[in-house]
Structure 1
Amino acid sequence: MAEPLATGVDPYDTAELRRRVLAAWADAPARFREDANAEEDFALGGYRDRVVVELAQNAADAARRAGVPGRLLLSLDGHRLVAANTGAPLTAQGVESLATLRASTKRDGTEAGRFGVGFSAVAALGDDVTVDSAGAAVRFSADLARAAVAELLSGGDPSGLGAEVERRGGHVPMLRLPFPAEAAPDGARDDTVRGYDTVVSLTLRDDDARDRVRALLAGTGEALLLALPGLAEVRVLVDGAERVATRQEDGGEPVTTLREAEGTRTTRWRTLVRTGEFDPALLADRPTEERARTAWSLTWAVPVDDDGGPAPLPEDVDPVVHAPTPTDTGLDLPAVLIGTFPLGSDRRAVQPGPATDLLLTEAAEAYCALLRRFGAEAALELVPGTRVGGGHVDAGFRARVAGPLRTTPFLATETGAPVAPDEAVLLDTGGTALSAVLAELIPGLLPGRLNPRHPALAALRVHRIGAADIADLLADTDRPPSWWAGLYAALSAGADTDELGALPVPLADGRLVRGPRSLLVPEEDGASRIDAEALAALGVRLVHPEAVHPLLLRLGAVEAGPAAVLADARTEAAVRGSLDADDPEPLAEAVLDLVAASGTTAADAPWLAELALRDDEDGYSVAAELLVPGAPLAEVLSEDAPFGTVHADLVERHGTDVLRAVGALWEFTLVRAEDAALGGDVLDVFEEAPDALDEWADELLERVGDPELPPVVPELLCVADLDYVADDRWPRALEMLSRGALRAAVTDPARVLMPDGRVVDATSYTAWWLRTRALVGGSAPAELRAAEAEPALAGLYDEAPADIDPEFARALGVRTTLEELLADPDGPDDLLARLADPERHVDRPGLLRIWTALAGVDADLVTPPSRVRAVLGGSIVVADAEDAVVVDSPDLLPLLAERPLVLAAAPEDLAEVLDLELASETVEGDVPAGGVLRQVPAVADLFLDPEGEQPDRTYLHHAELVVDGVEVEWYAGGGVVHASTDEGLARALCWRTEQWGRRHLLAAALRDPDAAPLLLAEADLEQ
């Protein structure tokens, strides 16, 4: 077989290589097709953009074989790409490897390029490549390859190879056919490549190939040096612009430097290496030659800053798996993973399988070990964050590293001890000050300087504790008070006070209690004002002075001023139980001092009246049952009043005002209750209810109609102890009650809130009680009238003393007007009782005024009288109610000459109120037959109001009118007017038209119709 045209010697015996390939193609065109397809797959597919990486791997392997630092030059000038490297030269076996797809001579597994196909990447970019190494050269050329095949076919084509070549458009796999080339002597080489052992020259196919190479070279730098430790330098020249990446060792760790026109960048790396042997079973799914390489290795590399902490990856280092050069398999970590991962035939992606699973497990354990080589805080930056998506390698690594990371002690506690995340504790609040205080109490507590929101801490699921958890953890902690003050200071720096409600607090008495709310904090200047023994007697919870901090006040504690101590619930409880104490004296002294200092009184804190005080018999009684010596109240009390007197020593030490402030009696006591419901037992609104309070409530309920829901008195104000006033001391007692706050309890009405929202004013309890129980001149106030009272009351009620002012007298129930008297729940019955008393006097106008007013009273509020004041034969008499009748029509008066008559403007209403008969119900009204039907004289129309009731037009005239055997002038019973005289007819017409006042005028007109004009004129003058 003739050789195609080629130049140069043939030290690699390329002729034999070509002969074997061409023979194989001639014998089996399918082999030609397979080789052509493989070269296209590698060159145009999987290796299309890996020319730089593949050339770099070859350079690293050459340097390793030669045992020298590898240097690589990558130069692009126009359409010519040159890759020059130092190291072992290309051998005949190497040429055979380049020309034989999938049959690398690198079988020991120690070299980066081990698949024998990487060189095919050059075919993706050009059709002519020459390798010049150590005085020998080999060339791969598409033109030469086609010529060799053409020459082969010129000798005949029995197998049909030519048809296969034609089917491929004349394309021949050029890398399967090496040709000898003339090597350039070292001295004759271009200055750019002088000093390099091997030079690969590639003529780029077109502008597109040149642009792709330019882009690949732009991303070439430190990553190659890190992935290929056999390389110490990579120089990149692009159209005269140079960029140089170098690698050296410092303390066993790599340092890479990138120099370019924009400046120089140096990256220090921290690495961790793991090696081992695969169990052959794990490689069962790998190609045959790969199964023979059982050694594996892993390297983690992390860039570090000047402080030794993790730094960001250089921009030209992609977050992918390196095997050992970059793959397309993503690994989104702040570290570079380089390992002997199984790759696909295109060497782009890590292949899943048992070997990959093992390496990922080893990588996870190694990564945890790598984190321990950093400071705890720096290591957090390397913790993989949560991620959605990612490839199978990224997801597999994260799944495998999650558990070991939680059990690896790469963190450090506040005290500096190593701790694994699953045993660590993180404060959610408080910062460094709080963690320093709690470090000795909480094992595994991380430093407070850590950012509690760091995503790594969340990814590691570090146990967190907040302010509420801290409060619970410290519940039984035994520490000196000053330690607690330090804790509060630390918590105040940023803890959420809403979660500190149960924070323990040491007390002055040695106890540790939960929760600052309502605790008393000693005032800075208040120690001298509040005696510690006094506070102990009160049983209040006082914070230990050495534990005081403003945080406690923010959490609800209060400064232990006198008012605050008095407001404490324990002070109240102590006072309420003081009478049962073994020795009430210290407690009484403490409370009296606090009252004097604070100005608090029993009006502010009613329970102060329960303070046990020493009395003048050296016993003890509550303040509300003791009189202050010289008290005005003592002047009005009866001998059986159950009050003692405060011991004189207490008066001397504390003064009258302080004793009065705690409820010791000076004058009458005002007691208050809020929102007192009148339904049920109203006595429950007071611990000791005033006398007859329930009776007042019952009467009030009856007055307002006793609704289904109980009315409420928003503020019930009562004067207590009125039932202990001596009968002969009431003038003085009323004088006391008429002044100051006591007066309002008498004069101000009780406001009652009804269920329907209405507000009703009612007589106050105190006024109600005084009306019938107090004595004024020997009589109850309700039995008296004011001097200026309504005349109708003059003879029925005695006049009250003139020295009682009118407003106060009115509130006491002293009668002033008939209207007010009848508005009093007891008023109507009292008035009727006085009317039935023959000793009482009332004139005829007054009686008519009273009966008319009584007609307007609700009958349900009146007790029907047994005797009534009535008119009999022109005189006012007291008669039996069963004999009296209420006159409801004046035509009946002649028929009732023997009956006591009750006269009123509303007779039906009055009869119902008094339960009396009406006159019309007692007479038969028998009129004998007869009478002449007559027209009512027309003159009557002149005197009767046309807008009122229309008068009768006819009537029955009787010469003599007799009704029930009695001769009368008129009668209107039965709806018919009977009259025997003009006066009778006038009365009948005016009564029927409700114009009774015109009866005399009409009678005159009927007697003398001609006088009508004069009578009308006189009537006009009356108007």
Structure 2
Amino acid sequence: MQTAIDGAPGDPFGTAEIRRRVLAAWAEDPARFREDANAEEDLVRGGYRDRLLVELAQNAADAAVRGGVPGRLRLELDAGTLRAANTGAPLDEGGVQGLATLRASVKRDETGSVGRFGVGFAAVLAVTDEPAVLSAAGGVRFSAAQTHDEVVAVPALAAEVARRGGAAPVLRLPWPAEGAPPDGFTTEVVLPLRDGAPPVVAAALDALPAELLLALPGLAGIDVIVDGAQRCLRIERSARSARITDGGGTTWAIAERSGELPAELLADRPVEERSRRAWTVTAAVPLDQEGRPRPLPSGQVVHAPTPSDEPLSLPVRLIAPFPLGPDRRHVAPGPVTDALVAAAAGTCADLVVGLPADPAVLALVPQVGLAGAELDAALCAAVLEQLRATSWLPVAADPTARQAPDRAAALDDPTEERVAALADVVPGLLPAGWSRRSDSRSLTALGVRRIGTAAAVEAVRGVDRLPSWWAGLYAALDGADREELGALPVPLADGRTAHGPAGVLLPEAGLPVHRLGALGLRLAEPEAVAPPAARRLLERLGAQPATAVAVLADPAVRAAVETSMDIVDHAVDGSPEPEELAEAVLALVAVARPAVGELPWLAGLALPDADGGWAPAGELVLPGSPLAAVLAEGSLGVLEAETAATADPDALRAVGVLDTFALVRAEDPDELDVDGADRWADAVLDRLPHDAPPPQWPLLTAVRDLELVADWAGALPLLASLPPEAWADVVVGGVAVPGYLRWWLSTHPVLGGERPDRLRHPESEELQGLYESATAAPEVLALLRPPGSVADVLADVDGAIDLLDRLGDPARTVRPGVLRTVYAQLADALDGIDVDPPDRVRVAPDRVVEDAVVLDAPYLQPLVRKPLVPAAGAPGAVADLLDLPLAGELVRGTVTGRGERRRWADLPGAALAAARLDVAELTGEVELHDGLDVDGRPVPWWPGEDADHVDGTPESLGRALAWRAGAWSRRQALAEAFAFPDRAAELAAEDAIG
């Protein structure tokens, strides 16, 4: 290539004349040579060396603008040479003058030009010593070697060149060059690269950013070719955006402002700049596939219009024709820069405002205090001021509206739901996506006020909204800080508003909320608290779930019920009407479904009666009910017929209106408001041991209104159908005793005019003759439990006393087996009880007498002249009970005559007798009589001090031995042993079988 240029004939641009004039000027004034040499070194050293490709692209863009055509640039690296071909205006004589004249350019008044007066071409010297520019009209080249030869030939300059190490300003002396640009291009820059430069240039070509096209409005595309491999960079511009492609495509949002600087601002600038007053500022940011901005990473710089060393903390590409200082890297301060800062701020604000209303835009807001340099700080402050004064932020309540930041508000803890709920009560509220904590610095910088949860709550106080609106608000606030929600209003079902959720009742499904107004409860409007999230929030703030059961348990409901009769009797202003209160309670009870008697206080509810008055529910009977048919007329009131027909029957029963007998419960007999509760308690205590401690009463169940029954034949089946607990025994002090109902019925004439405890069970044989048989349905008898045995009778003190009297009734009979033990059992049962002795006592199953003796020892019987009362081993107690003498008190017998003394062990049959007494051998002596008399009367045996007296018969021997051994029950077995001594072995064998 070099050979072709050197041999180029002709000089269409007058390069020879240029060289002559320059050399003459240098020879005349060597200082001028030094100045030009210094200037070229400063240009290369000052920042253009690392921006060669940018300067080539800039020159191509300017050529396109001058030529009025779409700019196109081809950068090709091949065989150690870099070629840059472009479209647009070709190189002309003025262009050559600009290239060969440092700090001069022909691009003074061209709108759209981005070049800095031609000085950027000096960047080529970073990689080449022989640059050339070819065009259709001719070419021009520069040569470091030829320039050196020309300069050292001038004596006045040789020493200066030697002092500089042989260096001379390459770009001051042009030579004509031969060649033409490629087809389709008007100009080509040819740069033969010096050693070591190709890899550096290749790397720069690979790294050439596609967004460079943003800074070059006249350039539509760049083709990069390295060793035959091609890369195509393109830009398609529209009004507010540009799409750049480099393999894939990226769309950039663009804002531009243009204008003209006032002449006075340029008074201190170089002459070339004073004539270029027109300016264009571009701000751009890439967009993602959804059209949202993708802020550029940190480390951006101001483009003026090519990259400078001025840091930029704004995450955008900012391109503005700021004046540069002598180092060509930093922006020079002054009025021009100030004016362009204002223009840039407006352009950046235009960029932000023109973007779609998406919270990603907030990332473009400058952060005060983060600026990295003076220019950056000025730009950030100016952009922020513009954004603060512009209506561009969205309004949550109106997607089409925009507002200035000083009118906007952002929730501290935003969600879509919270913003939607509060949008129409908090003026200027931003959408949730615009209120994120991650954007708080941007919002703070803009001056957007923050709205905390407490402030949001304050904003909704006093507002009138539909229940569905409140439901949405509560659901949206679920999860917010509880401390700030304490004053959150809650609309109530009766039209009031609760100034805080604490204590508010949250109705569950099915609760008849709008029928409960008379109760004065703080029941929330159901629709306002229907969503689960709303209920969750309000419960967390102290509201209570309001099932029908829970509402019924509210103290206010109980108070209303318990004072309902007071309202009837003494109505006061503000109190509900009795009808409204009754309807509310019945509606609530109908849903809650408490068991009958479960809430006894409900019986105090005032209800209308059949006489036109009001009465507590528990004192009213359901008209036509089974209970009404068995009670004495007028004993209880009757519920008004209309109320009975319209109200829920189960609800009426639950509040105490009676259709059958009602249960009463208490923890102590003194609290049982039923007939005879105190007497029942005494009867229970009578059954406990005399030394038992005061009892611990279980939960007691009784039946009320038994004393009002007129028809017991009809009442008993009703009572039999009551729950088992009504009939259950009560365990007190470890003793099971009849409960109140069974006791009351047993002690009142409810069975054909007779008391059940004075009758016997139909199947009882033991009590036949003493008691009449009870007659009733089997199920009734099973519950009443009329006595079936003496033990049943004796379980009750009154029953025992009654039995004592019956035993003395001559009209009655007693079974022999009963008579034998009954008086002993009575004595035990009535021990410690002050009982009047009977007038007559029974001495035989069918015989009673007025005077009798209690036999206290069997040997006395032959000597007693009066009838004997059987004592069954308890003669003393029986005698005390009956106030009768003991036989031993009346008889003092003396044995007449003497008998034969013998040892018990020597008697025939003694061994078997000993075995039957479980002793090894009988001890002691016995006196045998041939006929035994006591006080002149014959007796079979009589005890003595050291020996018993017997008449010698086996029966008398067995009885005497049994009495002395304390084994009276074995007397027959002992008599058998003495009666059959020859059968001792056989009888012993029989004992072994047993």
TM more than 0.5: yes
Shift in CA distance, 994/305, structure 1 to aligned 2, threshold 3 Å: same
Q: Which residue of 1 aligns with 2:984?
A: 1012
Q: How do 1:220-231 and structure 2 match up within 5 A?
A: 220-221=209-210, 223-229=211-217
CA distance in 2, matches of 1:340, 1:912: 137
Q: How do 1:16-55 and structure 2 match up within 5 A?
A: 51-53=52-54, 55=56
TM-score (norm 2): 0.61
Aligned-pair CA distance for 1:817: 3.3
Shift in CA distance, 627/871, structure 1 to aligned 2, threshold 3 Å: closer
Aligned-pair CA distance for 1:1004: 3.2
Percent identity over the alignment is 26
Q: Does 1:300 align with 2:283?
A: yes
| SS of structure 2 residue aligned to 1:300 | strand
Q: How do 1:936-951 and structure 2 match up within 5 A?
A: 950-951=918-919
Q: Does 1:957 align with 2:929?
A: no
Q: How do 1:465-544 and structure 2 match up within 5 A?
A: 476-478=462-464, 484=466, 487=469, 491=472, 517-518=506-507
| SS of structure 2 residue aligned to 1:690 | coil
Shift in CA distance, 933/386, structure 1 to aligned 2, threshold 3 Å: farther
Aligned-pair CA distance for 1:140: 5.4
CA distance in 1, matches of 2:42, 2:21: 22
Give 5+ residue unaligned stretches, structure 1.
1-5, 99-109, 162-171, 281-294, 524-529, 558-562, 684-688, 921-930
Aligned-pair CA distance for 1:371: 2.5
1:270 counterpart letter in structure 2: A
Q: Does 1:772 align with 2:747?
A: yes
| SS of structure 1 residue aligned to 2:762 | coil
Aligned length: 866
Q: Which residue of 2 aligns with 1:669?
A: 661
Q: How do 1:550-565 and structure 2 match up within 5 A?
A: none
Deviations 1:930-985 (A, max 9, x none): x9988688966657779xx95244522254899xx9x9979899xx9999888788
| SS of structure 1 residue aligned to 2:982 | helix
Give 5+ residue unaligned stretches, structure 2.
1-5, 9-14, 104-112, 266-277, 539-547, 889-900
Q: Does 1:184 align with 2:177?
A: yes
Deviations 1:440-461 (A, max 9, x none): 544224569x798897589748
Of the three residues 697, 715, 719, the one matched with 2:703 is: 719
CA contact (8 A) 2:60 2:73 kept: yes
CA distance in 2, matches of 1:174, 1:703: 137
Q: Does 1:424 align with 2:414?
A: no
1:839 counterpart letter in structure 2: G
CA distance in 1, matches of 2:510, 2:651: 27
Deviations 1:263-301 (A, max 9, x none): 988756234689999xx9xxxxxxxxxxxxxx9997531
CA distance in 1, matches of 2:682, 2:338: 91
Q: Which residue of 2 aligns with 1:80?
A: 81
CA contact (8 A) 1:410 1:418 kept: yes
Shift in CA distance, 541/747, structure 1 to aligned 2, threshold 3 Å: closer
2:54 counterpart letter in structure 1: V
CA distance in 1, matches of 2:380, 2:693: 76
Q: Does 1:371 align with 2:346?
A: no
CA contact (8 A) 2:564 2:578 kept: no
| SS of structure 2 residue aligned to 1:381 | helix
Q: Does 1:785 align with 2:760?
A: yes
Q: CA RMSD in A?
A: 7.9
| SS of structure 2 residue aligned to 1:75 | strand
| SS of structure 2 residue aligned to 1:137 | strand
CA distance in 2, matches of 1:15, 1:886: 170
1:202 counterpart letter in structure 2: L
Q: Does 1:137 align with 2:128?
A: no
Aligned-pair CA distance for 1:783: 3.2
| SS of structure 2 residue aligned to 1:76 | strand
CA contact (8 A) 2:729 2:736 kept: yes
Of the three residues 309, 317, 323, the one matched with 1:336 is: 317
CA contact (8 A) 2:82 2:193 kept: yes
Of the three residues 394, 404, 413, the one matched with 1:412 is: 394
CA distance in 2, matches of 1:838, 1:873: 6
| SS of structure 1 residue aligned to 2:463 | coil
CA contact (8 A) 1:204 1:210 kept: no
Deviations 1:628-675 (A, max 9, x none): 667765665568x6534567x7599879989986979775432466xx
Aligned-pair CA distance for 1:424: 3.0
Of the three residues 597, 608, 613, the one matched with 2:608 is: 613
Aligned-pair CA distance for 1:736: 1.5
Of the three residues 830, 839, 860, the one matched with 2:808 is: 839
Q: Which residue of 2 aligns with 1:799?
A: 772
CA contact (8 A) 1:276 1:296 kept: yes
CA distance in 2, matches of 1:709, 1:614: 42
| SS of structure 2 residue aligned to 1:236 | strand
| SS of structure 1 residue aligned to 2:615 | strand
Deviations 1:874-899 (A, max 9, x none): 8899999xx99999xx9999999999
Shift in CA distance, 571/92, structure 1 to aligned 2, threshold 3 Å: same
Q: How do 1:523-922 and structure 2 match up within 5 A?
A: 573=560, 577=564, 580-581=567-568, 603=596, 607=602, 610-616=605-611, 618-626=612-620, 637=631, 642-645=635-638, 668-671=660-663, 678=667, 682-683=671-672, 689-693=673-677, 713=699, 718-725=702-709, 729=710, 732-739=711-718, 742-744=721-723, 748-749=727-728, 763-776=738-751, 779-789=754-764, 791=766, 793-794=767-768, 798-802=771-775, 804-821=776-793, 827-828=796-797, 830-831=799-800, 834-835=803-804, 839=808, 845-846=817-818, 863-864=832-833
Aligned-pair CA distance for 1:224: 1.1
Aligned-pair CA distance for 1:811: 2.9
CA contact (8 A) 1:628 1:656 kept: no
CA distance in 2, matches of 1:503, 1:454: 27
| SS of structure 1 residue aligned to 2:818 | helix
CA contact (8 A) 1:74 1:82 kept: yes
Shift in CA distance, 853/374, structure 1 to aligned 2, threshold 3 Å: farther
| SS of structure 1 residue aligned to 2:209 | coil
CA contact (8 A) 2:130 2:143 kept: yes
Deviations 1:563-611 (A, max 9, x none): 99x9899999589726734697965996899899999999499747734
TM-score (norm 1): 0.59
| SS of structure 2 residue aligned to 1:739 | helix
CA contact (8 A) 1:872 1:898 kept: no
Q: Does 1:384 align with 2:363?
A: yes
Q: Which residue of 2 aligns with 1:321?
A: 301
Shift in CA distance, 240/494, structure 1 to aligned 2, threshold 3 Å: farther
Aligned-pair CA distance for 1:382: 1.6
1:670 counterpart letter in structure 2: A
CA distance in 2, matches of 1:140, 1:834: 152
Aligned-pair CA distance for 1:830: 3.6
CA contact (8 A) 1:471 1:504 kept: no
CA contact (8 A) 1:521 1:542 kept: no
1:739 counterpart letter in structure 2: L
Aligned-pair CA distance for 1:721: 1.3
Q: Which residue of 2 aligns with 1:215?
A: 206
